[in-house]
């Protein structure tokens, strides 16, 4: 009887703790969403924003959202045709906005070759906002040893090296002005181990931890540094074409994420992804990894089956 009562009280206590966490989460979400003001990007000390991976998806949406707020845009990506098209779209849609394009293939080029090109392109520009968005993932989930070693190196170059390089290029002028904002795009998969996407998740975890450290190092110098950890968004990378309640379009996602700049140093950027992450964090790590592994295995099987049909 005593043992049964003890178990019952422990159960009640666990429910109370969970209810308390949910209450605090909802209160925090509502407060940040409706009672706090985001950072005005036009007051970041520069008239320009630089966005990497800016011709598709989230990167392109950031370019348009920042241009809408009155910033000129430096577009950095690998496709000259897409760069020219996006630049033309921006200048046509937002009267008075200037653009500058810089062609860089972070996947194939060595950083020593593109650093001088980027530095030369922006040497006379005051960059108020830097968005490190460029990234790549797997074609489909798979085991580490099934990945081509060259592909792994390429993924690290795109997801990690580009982040380090672009931050080192742009951050000094922000520090000199004592104003600026750096937005780094990580991934919800960086918040926990993701079997069958191990290298991708680990590379995005680097983005997350790097950003948190950088934010502390440069807060006293007037620099706002934010890490965004999105879940699925309609994009070429996710291969999802239709939006839903928990899969927003890039435009909706970026509008939400920018509304948290200066409020949340680390955020999923979108309310549904915040909710997902909250409940994920409640699960025991071993249980979570098992669930994720089963999900990734199912996606892998589906992708391989599709490949076999195509061949």
Number of CB atoms found within 10 A of residue 62's CB: 28
Query: Residues 254, 106, 190, CA angle at the centre, nearest 5°?
Result: 50
Q: Is 115 left (phi over 0), alpha (psi -120 to 50) or beta?
A: alpha
CA pair distance 156, 196, nearest whole angstrom = 16
> Catalytic residue among 114, 200, 218, 270, which?
200
Q: What is the DSSP letter of 160?
A: I
**Is 200 known to be catalytic?**
yes
Number of CB atoms found within 10 A of residue 80's CB: 11
Q: Residue 51 burial (CB < 10 Å; 0-12/13-18/19+)?
A: buried
- Catalytic site positions: 200
């Amino acid at each position: 009887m005593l043992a049964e009562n003890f178990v019952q009280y422990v159960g009640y206590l666990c429910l109370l703790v969970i209810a308390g966490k949910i209450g605090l989460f909802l209160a925090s979400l509502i407060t940040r969403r409706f009672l706090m003001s985001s950072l005005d990007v036009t007051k970041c000390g520069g008239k320009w924003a630089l966005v990497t991976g800016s011709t598709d998806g989230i990167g392109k949406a950031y370019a348009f959202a920042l241009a809408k707020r009155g910033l000129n845009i430096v577009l950095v990506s690998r496709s000259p045709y897409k760069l020219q098209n996006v630049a033309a779209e921006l200048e046509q849609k937002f009267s008075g906005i200037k653009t500058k394009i810089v062609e860089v293939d972070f996947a194939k080029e060595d950083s020593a070759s593109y650093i001088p090109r980027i530095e030369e392109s922006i040497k006379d520009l005051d960059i108020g906002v830097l968005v490190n968005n460029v990234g790549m993932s797997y074609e489909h989930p798979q085991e580490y040893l099934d990945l081509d070693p060259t592909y792994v190196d390429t993924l690290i170059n795109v997801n990690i090296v580009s982040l380090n390089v672009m931050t080192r290029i742009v951050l000094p002028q922000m520090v000199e002005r004592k104003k600026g904002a750096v937005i780094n795009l990580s991934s919800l998969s960086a918040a926990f181990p993701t079997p069958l996407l191990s290298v991708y998740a680990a590379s995005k975890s680097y983005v997350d931890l790097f950003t948190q450290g950088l934010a502390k190092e440069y807060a006293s110098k007037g620099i706002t540094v934010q890490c965004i950890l999105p879940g699925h968004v309609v994009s070429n990378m996710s291969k999802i074409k239709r939006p839903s309640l928990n899969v927003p379009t890039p435009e909706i996602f970026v509008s939400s994420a920018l509304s948290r700049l200066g409020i949340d140093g680390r955020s999923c950027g979108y309310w549904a992804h915040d909710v997902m992450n909250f409940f994920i964090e409640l699960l025991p790590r071993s249980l979570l990894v098992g669930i994720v592994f089963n999900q990734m295995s199912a996606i892998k099987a589906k992708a391989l089956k599709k490949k076999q049909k195509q061949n």
